[in-house]
Amino acid sequence: MYAAKLWKELEDKSVQCRLCNHFCLLAPEEYGNCGVRINRDGCLYTLVYDKLAAINIDPIEKKPLFHFQPGSFSLSIGTVGCNFSCQFCQNDTLSQGPKLNHKIIGKELSPDYIVQLAQHYDASNISYTYSEPTIFFELVLDSAKLAKSKGIKNVMVSNGFMSRYCLEELGPYIDAINVDLKAFKEDFYQNYCGANLKPILNNLKYILELGWWLEVTTLVIPGLNDDEQELRQVASFIYSELGADVPWHISRFHPAYKMDNYKPTPVATLEQAYEIGKQLGLKYVYLGNVSGHTSENTLCPQCNYLVIERSGMSMSKKAIKNNRCFHCGEVISGVDLD
């Protein structure tokens, strides 16, 4: 148990956590919505600072990040806990356990050891992922600072619900982020995620102000967020508020957690979303969880030349020089693309 950051003392030994947009008010011995922060005698503590529940070497494309150091390998880490309660969670064994039984599992690994592992495996970056990195903020911050000093970049895969305080603290140390924009309706977030949409939209815009490379993912669920109007709203927001260069990943839903009775998303629905994104002016649109689909590849937005070919979640071919299309010289948006 480690002292947490980003909280405020209140009366009667109560505290307010300021880590995410829940801004939980906790009396002594109460846990936050994430299940991994607790008020002990008027002080807030994190239970997962050194408790890694998942650690792997992944291709950066798995995050998914397609325009950030393509072809590189990322040391990917995560703890248990999450500030969302998505009924369709793909990693519920990691994310939801602490809320149900307050059990914290994981291997004790320090930020110093994490960075040493990244160096040992020649990982170009460290990804804070699997559950929700906001809830293991202290570990992210300390690891990211150290990694940065060693020339290793830092990546987050997030639901985007962190507070402005959290983003400001992480600002100088994070290089790229993929944010789930799960839907474009408040009632979806409230009913299926236990959260709100507006803070995420605001954070997406602020992330660009911080200078992080941003990509957006939408998991399309049949009957919930798959109608043409909503898909158009998501794509329009990305184009008008974030920019045409921000990649949009449209991911196929597979039955999971409390929604295992739903059917997988028809590929035709995903292809419709792809066309909507392209029609509205997005330069880079991708389909996810559809093995072998040509939309995994990056095409030059100017001449349609194949500049990055992917197979599954790995890059297999690249035709970029100085971040430009090898064929026509058009700039391909991204970070360290060569």
CA distance 255 to 178: 22
What pLDDT score does 311 carry?
85
Class (C level, CATH) for 51-296: alpha beta
In the chain, what is the straight-line distance between the N-terminal and C-terminal CA atoms, in Å? 43
The bridge status of strand 248-252 relative to strand 213-220 is parallel
CA-based nearest residue to 162, from 192, 127, 138: 138
Output b/e per residue, 156-176; b: 16+ Cβ within 10 A: bbbbbbbbebbbebbeebbbb
* pLDDT per residue as tens digits for the range 188-239: 999 999 999 999 999 999 999 999 999 999 999 999 999 999 999 999 999 9
What pLDDT score does 292 carry?
83
CA-based nearest residue to 251, from 269, 276, 237, 233: 269
Using a 10 angstrom Cβ sphere, with 0-12 exposed, 13-18 middle and 19 or more buried, the burial of residue 305 is middle
What pLDDT score does 269 carry?
97
What pLDDT score does 47 carry?
98
- What are the residue ranges in the chain where pLDDT is below 70? none
CA distance 52 to 264: 31
Average pLDDT, the chain: 96
What pLDDT score does 303 carry?
97
What pLDDT score does 190 carry?
98
Annotate 246-283 with DSSP letters as a single string.
Answer: S-EEEEE----GGGTTSPPPPHHHHHHHHHHHHHTT-S
Residue type, 202: N
With residue 14 as reference, give the H or E element that holds it.
none
What pLDDT score does 1 carry?
87
CA distance 147 to 124: 10
For the chain, domain boundaries: 2-46, 51-296, 297-338
What pLDDT score does 137 carry?
98
